[in-house]
A and B are shown apart, each in its own frame.
Chain A
Amino acid sequence: MISAVIYKKNLNKFGEEVCGDNFQLGKTEDSKIAVMSDGLGSGIKASILSILTTEIISTMFKKGVDVEEVVHTIANTLPVCKVRGIAYSTFTIVQIFRNGMVKLVNYDNPKPIILKKGQLYWPTYQEKIINDKKIKISTFTLDPEDFIFVMSDGVVHAGLGNLMDFGWGIENIAGYLKRMYRRTRDIKYMVDNLIAVTESYYGFEAGDDATLVGLKITEKPRAIIFTGPPLDPKKDSYYVEKFTKFDGKKIISGGTTSNIVSRITGNEMEIDLTSTSSKELPPYGHMENVDLVTEGVLTLKALNKLLSECKNNMYEIDFDKKNINAADNMFLILRDCDEIKIMVGRKVNAFYHNPALPFDMSIRSNLVRDIVKNLQRVGKDVEIEYC
């Protein structure tokens, strides 16, 4: 199964409070849709125009309308500026299907840059004239670790009349991204870096709104967290089997839980002595066929704290990669996933009621409920199973 990790960053035109570009993420049963729109001009007028465009497009997708039909509606409703003879807003739609097929629709935005196995890939576009508007549509397939970058013309025109005659241009940007691919595959780093360069080409006073949306094609967009021992010990092996057969990233959170999995699968758990442990969080480890093993309640509490710091998406927090603890690690795994399943054991650990503990250990299921709420807020599909 194919999905994508999506990260966006934008610059506002110098002196403007809002960005005239807008970006929205949508989903259908078998695909993920990213829509980026650039409103004519800048400031609040452009912002409203672009929000209108992305909103119409994503709402229609949610209702199950086909791409062509959506484009038709948008092309027919988008007004054209009387003075300049250009449309009030331009847009790009990327639809990524679970089987790896990608549908790209572009109307007057710069050509999206695609990196296929590290090489630049320029698909052939089919042109359709809908209500006098030239819409470019292309369909192709991508594999995990391929990238698509969608941008507004503000990025392409950076440096125009300032450092360069015609701005840094799509070919130069493509070359820059290709070179960056050799150093890193981190989508956040790539987008942040390119926007930083764009801003410097503008002399730190952007002449236009500039938005860059990076899409990294990934595999296995699902994760499962197994936390807490099942209420009925007789059912341990049933749940462990369910856990190990799960197709996706696997996380165990809880000492007793990892002992149960280790006992039933026969795989020994290894706690990394060099993993970062601190006064707050115990260290983490690995087990064969399991991506991460951590302590339970404290780590989940720390994870929930991280999640509640994110307003809209999980890219709002930066990590020092050399120094990440168990909760950071779990956060990073979940960030790359679309669907998260949590298996919560209901057996109560008798020691948690001991008054010797320094603070109240909130019941695991309450904590999990908060985590689920936060994960849903940042756009994840969460399924919970009590066992």
Chain B
Amino acid sequence: MVISICVGTTCHLLGSSSLVEAINELPEKYLNNVSIKYSTCFDVCHGQMKPPIAKIDDKLYDDLSPDKIKKIIIAMVGDN
């Protein structure tokens, strides 16, 4: 699973740096399945989506919080 976290201005201001920390707090069995990348602006935040935004395997997720992204990862890895 590839997670690209946006580090553009608005995503950063609305807390994208805490997302990486949150992911790194996950137990190893989840972390082993995840590779984290930083990304520049996805250019979607002036439309319907609200920062911070991350792309997980080609799907964009918005309005993320540390808890929210942890839950998404746990749910996705759990399914596999």
Contact = CB atoms under 8 A, between A and B. Distances in A.
A362 to B, nearest CB: 12
A24 interface: no
Contact of B7 (A295, A349, A354): A295
Interface in A265-291: 269, 271, 273, 277-279, 281-283, 285
Interface in B1-41: 6-10, 12-14, 16-17, 36-41
A166 interface: no
A259 interface: yes
A295 B12 contact: yes
A361 B13 CA distance: 11
Contacts of A350: 46
Most A CB contacts (10 A, CB to CB) among B36, B39, B40 go to: B40
A260 to B, nearest CB: 10
Given A271-B7, A282-B7, A350-B46, A255 B41 contact: yes
B51 to A, nearest CB: 8
A361 B8 CA distance: 14
B43 interface: yes
A352 B10 contact: yes
Nearest to A326: B7
A296 interface: yes
A259 B10 contact: no
Highest count of chain A CB atoms <10 Å: which of B9, B10, B41: B9
Contact of A255 (B9, B13, B17, B36): B9
Interface string B45-63: 1100011000000000000
Nearest to A277: B17
A76 B71 CA distance: 82
A258 B41 CA distance: 9
Contacts of A296: 9
Given A278-B17, A282-B17, A350-B46, A259 B9 contact: no
Q: For the side of the interface on A, what is the size category?
A: 20 to 34
Contacts of A297: 9
Contacts of A282: 7-9, 12, 16-17
A259 B46 contact: no
A51 B49 CA distance: 62
B39 A271 contact: yes
B66 to A, nearest CB: 14
B9 A273 contact: no
A263 B47 CA distance: 21
Contacts of B46: 349-351
Interface of A: 255-256, 258-259, 262, 269, 271, 273, 277-279, 281-283, 285, 293, 295-298, 349-352, 354, 356-358, 361
Given A273-B36, A282-B17, A295-B7, 20 more contacts: A255-B9, A255-B41, A259-B40, A259-B41, A259-B43, A271-B7, A271-B38, A271-B40, A273-B37, A277-B7, A277-B17, A282-B8, A283-B7, A285-B38, A298-B9, A351-B10, A351-B46, A352-B10, A354-B10, A356-B50
In order of increasing CB-CB distance, the 8 nearest A-B pairs are A255-B41, A271-B38, A255-B8, A350-B46, A282-B7, A255-B40, A282-B12, A351-B46
22 contacts: A255-B6, A255-B8, A255-B9, A256-B8, A256-B40, A256-B43, A258-B40, A262-B40, A271-B39, A279-B17, A282-B8, A282-B12, A282-B16, A282-B17, A295-B9, A295-B12, A298-B9, A298-B12, A349-B9, A349-B46, A356-B50, A357-B13
